Amino acid sequence: MATAQGSLRDTRHRRLVVVCAVTALAAVGASGCSQDAADEQPSQGVVVNLGGEIAVLKGIDGKPEIVGQRPDGTETLDTYRLTAPRQLNTGDIVGIRDGGAVAISPDDPVKATLLGQATAWFPSVDKGKVWTVTEQTAAACEGQGLPTTVRAKYTIAEHETSGRPARRVVSMPCGIEPAAQTSQGIVAHQTTGDVPGSGNASRARTSVVLLDKNGAVSSVVAEAATVLAADADQVVWRADECPTGTCTKIYDAQAKKSRNAPACEAGDPVGTGTLAPGGRWYATAVRADNGTHLAVLDLGENSCRDLGAFAALDKTTDLDESLAATWSRANLLMIDQGTGELIEHNAPTGRVERRREALPVTNGAQVWGAHNA
């Protein structure tokens, strides 16, 4: 069966090449084919952080070329590590380092361009730009009668990845924490109350909301809910304290309504996953009887592809914890932070490739993206 499927894929690829060649004189047709073909190709120039050294691999099985040496005196430290690394469709890799958002080109992954101070960030719907998030203490919200779990007041600023100063800055109302941007506005959590916890601790009860251009709430996506991921027109969210069935929902910002996440035979999606640029594919852990599986949900076709059990996911159901994952266009790149196992999944074709030899990692590892994004 595997051979037959491989033959079908090879035939499909050859047909695609022929169609593209025949339509090369038609600019629109040629452009469409080249994009489809590019999305189906394996990643080249894969950038990985081996836990304090930066390496580039020509392909998933390529020899790691060390381009960023471990600085002297940092044998037990990872000075390159990024928080929330993600690759934009433009190719830039963005993440948080040392209290600031930085942009990194796969062409020179050691050089980081500081975009601005930030505790978090998310992509802008304006191509090649990002939003940085900064916070003030909750003292700025005194006297407003807010829940006690409101800990900060947030401000967002839109930056170009070139490092130019931000031209758009929006101060959020107290009780609003920005999470992402869709074509219909900023997605945020609005704290609506406190939920008693163990001891004297409390956690916030939040609604998922859309904001207008001034930061005010324009509509409520879901009450008692949490955003898991968002991009373009798709918002993946989870109903808090969901008792039965699937707790993961998909909100379409254009249609302005939510639906259940695609069903998976192995079980329901759990934890926090990662959404591909454009919002079509969502990679997530799935709770299964024989261990935690990794699945890729196709939000466009409402289907689920089960990629099987991953030992790293038995430690946590959140991707980018023990199993670090990032999308490079339609390729999902994953690395087991403990063992150095590197895996690539191509969403359009379903192809899965595992590196034959694990990468040498120290103090964890990250995969940032690829050159051909």
- Residue 26's contacts (CB-CB under 8 Å, 6 or more residues apart) are none
Question: What is the DSSP code string of 217-249?
Answer: EEEEEESSEEEEEEETTEEEEEETT--SS--EE
Asked if residues 92 and 105 have their Cβ atoms less than 8 Å apart, the reply is yes
The predicted structure's pLDDT at residue 136:
94
CA angle centred on 106, ends 102 and 108, rounded to 5°: 80
- Global pTM reads 0.88
Rounded to whole angstroms, how far apart are CA atoms 80 and 103?
A: 13
The predicted structure's pLDDT at residue 35:
57
Q: Which phi and psi angles does 76 have, rounded to 5°? A: -110, 10
The predicted structure's pLDDT at residue 31:
41
Rounded to whole angstroms, how far apart are CA atoms 311 and 324?
A: 13
Question: 74 has which bridge partners?
Answer: none
Radius of gyration of the chain (CA): 21
Q: Report the half-sphere exposure of 73 (CA within 13 A, side-chain side).
A: 0
Which pair of tokens denotes residue 120? 């978090």
- H helices of 206-345, in order, are none
State pLDDT tens for residues 64-100: 999 999 998 888 889 999 999 999 999 999 999 999 9
The predicted structure's pLDDT at residue 34:
53
Rounded to whole angstroms, how far apart are CA atoms 373 and 41?
A: 11
Question: 127 has which bridge partners?
Answer: none
State pLDDT tens for residues 127-167: 889 999 999 998 999 999 999 999 999 999 999 999 998 88
80: which DSSP letter? T
Residues in the chain predicted with pLDDT less than 50, given as ranges, are 1-33
Beta strand 54-57 with 65-68 is antiparallel
Rounded to whole angstroms, how far apart are CA atoms 58 and 60?
A: 7
The predicted structure's pLDDT at residue 54:
97
Distance in angstroms between the alpha carbons of the first and the last residue of the chain = 31
The predicted structure's pLDDT at residue 61:
95
Rounded to whole angstroms, how far apart are CA atoms 162 and 9?
A: 39
